[in-house]
């Protein structure tokens, strides 16, 4: 989620007197296109400045052995699933001595 912070079209949103709903133009003229009209959702100049990107992202799994302060094996919730590729490495885990 992000915000189109340079959106100048938010002032074009108006509340319809007859229906009470917000309305906005279906075509807009973004400054970068020098007056060319395009569909409102084909540009960053939208009625609401919210945006969403869909992307593939690798997220590190939660591993209580490393991600918990004061970890103890008996405190791991029973419904916690740790990926197999992580669990197999935990079997080889050695304690660190200071």
Average pLDDT over residues 71-91: 78
Query: Over the stretch 19-61, which tens digit does the pLDDT of each residue have?
Result: 667 667 778 887 778 888 888 777 776 777 777 888 777 777 7
pTM passes above 0.75 = no
For residue 7, the model assigns a pLDDT of: 66
Residue 76 has pLDDT above 80, yes or no: no
Mean of per-residue pLDDT scores for the chain: 75
- Rounded to 10 degrees, the C-alpha dihedral 44/47/50/53 comes to -50
Residue 22, phi then psi, degrees to nearest 5: -80, 140
Q: In whole angstroms, how large is the CA radius of gyration of the chain?
A: 26
For residue 17, the model assigns a pLDDT of: 64
For residue 13, the model assigns a pLDDT of: 64
């Amino acid at each position: 989620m992000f915000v189109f912070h340079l959106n100048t079209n938010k002032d074009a949103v108006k509340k319809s007197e007859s229906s009470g709903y917000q309305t906005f133009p279906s075509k807009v003229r973004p400054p970068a296109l020098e007056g060319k009209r395009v569909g409102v959702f084909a540009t960053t100049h939208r009625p609401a400045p919210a945006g969403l990107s869909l992307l593939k992202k690798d997220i590190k799994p939660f591993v209580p052995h490393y991600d918990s302060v004061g970890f103890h094996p008996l405190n791991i919730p029973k419904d916690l699933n740790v990926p197999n590729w992580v669990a197999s490495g935990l079997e080889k885990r050695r304690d660190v001595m200071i």
